[in-house]
Amino acid sequence: MKYGQLHSCKSLYLASPRGFCAGVSRAISTAELALERFGAPIFVRKEIVHNACVVKELSAKGVVFIEELDDIAWAEETQPTVVFSAHGVSPAVFEAAKRANLRVINATCPLVERVHKRAKKCAEDGYNILLIGHKDHDEIQGTLGVIRAFGGKVQVVERIEDLENLELEEPCKWLSQTTLSRADTLKIVRTAAEKFPFLEVNAGLDICYATTNRQAATHELAKTVGKNGVILVIGSKNSSNMLRLVEEARRLGVDAFRLEDADALDAKCMQRLVDTQNIGITSGASVPERLVEEIVHKIVDEFPTTKIQTITTTVENTHFVALPGSLQK
Ligand code: SF4
């Protein structure tokens, strides 16, 4: 017997915008076009975007994911193709690729490149940099590499507590990862500015439009499902922007948990849905819509009287049309 035959009709709310952002779409298209143009295998340094399903599908088409350029195994007489992921790389990685005579295709998101440009300018102008972000994240590793390559001094803070024992020297500017919580980043910046009054204010946050929009949509979704509701956030556990969506829902007191895909919606999760009237679904910026659809089908299959509604906070129209130069020929 279906759960829905035992329980009242459920309301299923879908956040919009959700899923793929312009940078992720561009990075995946770049890897696919590189495969088409140069043939399998092509190498991608790090995950092209942080989603296990995307990585699995590209692997099946002939992409070989590597951690570092040294992992490339290739016959010496030919030139291997390597794609750099959406999260960006440091200048040292470009130099290493040049030394190894690799054909480089750079799929870095233009919004990460914008942060790299700001980082370079700050370093060249002699600023010390307070970099807000997750130390081990690929994007922060790339931005750190840019700052150091241009002679800048940098300190990374992940959480407000990290400011306690921090010493900064004048002049100083702050930069951040693109996929952070807007609310948490602003708190860190305000606290840092109180402790270090010389910290110069930036014109805007480095957090990108897609992260901002998905957080706002999740905020609205959480208000809609209410404290007795449940929000399912679809995404892989190493996706920074997805984890921020879980936090955003919980900030409003809503029970939220992450699902990788429909297989993760097991009997235990389904039981949690039995106990609630309102279910919300959102997904991180690297999640294919197909994964959301499969979860919706599974829920509707279990609760056949479910009513589905989309909660739209913003209509996105950002597209990065231009692919990396080497693929435009
Ligand atoms: S989340 Fe933002 S910075 Fe990251 S790829 Fe998407 S648009 Fe670019």
> Which tens digits make up the pLDDT trace of 193-231?
999 999 997 767 899 999 999 999 999 999 999 999 999
Q: 279 and 201 in one domain?
A: no
Among protein residues, the one with the nearest Cα to ligand 1's atom 6 is 23
Catalytic residue check, 77 = no
The answer, yes or no, to whether residue 304 has pLDDT greater than 60, is yes
Same domain, 218 and 297: yes
Q: Which helix (H) or strand (E) holds 129?
A: strand 128-132
User: What is the domain extent for residue 287?
Assistant: 3-20+209-312
- What would the mean pLDDT of 258-283 be, rounded to a whole number? 95
| Ligand 1 pocket test target in 112, 178, 243, 320 with most atoms within 8 Å of CB | 178
Q: Determine the distance separating the centroid of ligand 1 and the alpha carbon of 22, expressed in angstroms.
A: 7
> Could you give phi then psi for residue 165, rounded to 5 degrees?
-100, 15
Distance 172 CA to ligand 1 centre (A): 26
Same domain, 217 and 251: yes
Per residue in 28-77, pLDDT (tens digit) is 999 999 999 999 999 999 999 999 999 999 999 999 999 999 999 877 77
Question: Which residues have C-beta within 8 Å of that of residue 264, sequence separation ≥ 6?
Answer: none
Q: Has residue 136 been placed in a domain?
A: yes
Ligand 1 geometric centre to CA of 21 (Å):
6
On whether residue 280 sits in a domain, the answer given is yes
Q: What is the pLDDT of residue 201?
A: 76
- Domain final residue, candidates 207, 237, 259: 207
Q: Which of 163, 170, 167, 117 is nearest to 142 (CA)?
A: 117
Q: Is 317 part of any domain?
A: no
pTM equals 0.95
Task: Please give the tally of structural domains in the chain.
Answer: 3
- Distance of CA 249 from the midpoint of ligand 1 (Å): 20
Pocket lining: 111 vs ligand 1, CB cutoff 6 Å: yes
208 lines ligand 1 (CB under 6 A): yes
